Amino acid sequence: MVLLLAFILASCYAYSQQATGFYFTVECSKYTQKPKPVTLAEKKMTVCVTAQPVVTIDEFEAISDLFEIKEQNFSFFDVTLSSKAHETLKKIGATFAFNHLVFLIDDEVVFLFEVEIANPTRVFRITDSYHSRDIQRIYSKLKTLTIKE
């Protein structure tokens, strides 16, 4: 009985936890995943995302160093997609009208991107204020997830 309960709880957790990657935003409904909170320029909102990522963490070609520019109160790092992932975004952009991608790490929205539908970029910049603990945490977690043995 305890084993069955543990399996059910693990299954529910696995279902609700979404993989790290880029997702499209979708209109929230009873059929979408639970809305995820996002804070943009001190504005709080929620977004719903597709069930599966359009680009997974395995399709990241490179993650730059974390740059911190004190004089401009600015920190950032870049995520470069593989050519295959970039082509996938282009094909989807030619078929469907989307303009927002959400970057999830461990089921947390870490960034919302506006994307040019006809010509999506291959390099995505994650930004925050200088010496932000959030961007340092996100960067460290992403680097840990992408270390390949």
Q: How far is CA 60 from CA 6, 53, 128, 138, in A?
A: 34, 12, 21, 15
pLDDT in tens, the chain (149 residues): 333 223 322 333 334 568 899 988 888 887 776 777 666 556 677 888 888 899 999 999 999 999 999 999 989 999 999 999 999 888 887 777 677 888 988 888 888 888 776 788 899 999 888 888 888 999 999 999 887 64
Sequence-distant (≥ 6) Cβ neighbours of residue 45 within 8 angstroms: 37, 38, 39
pTM, 2 dp = 0.76
Find where tokens 């809305």 sit: 35
CB 111 within 8 A of CB 141: no
- Please state the length of the chain: 149
Amino acid at 67: F
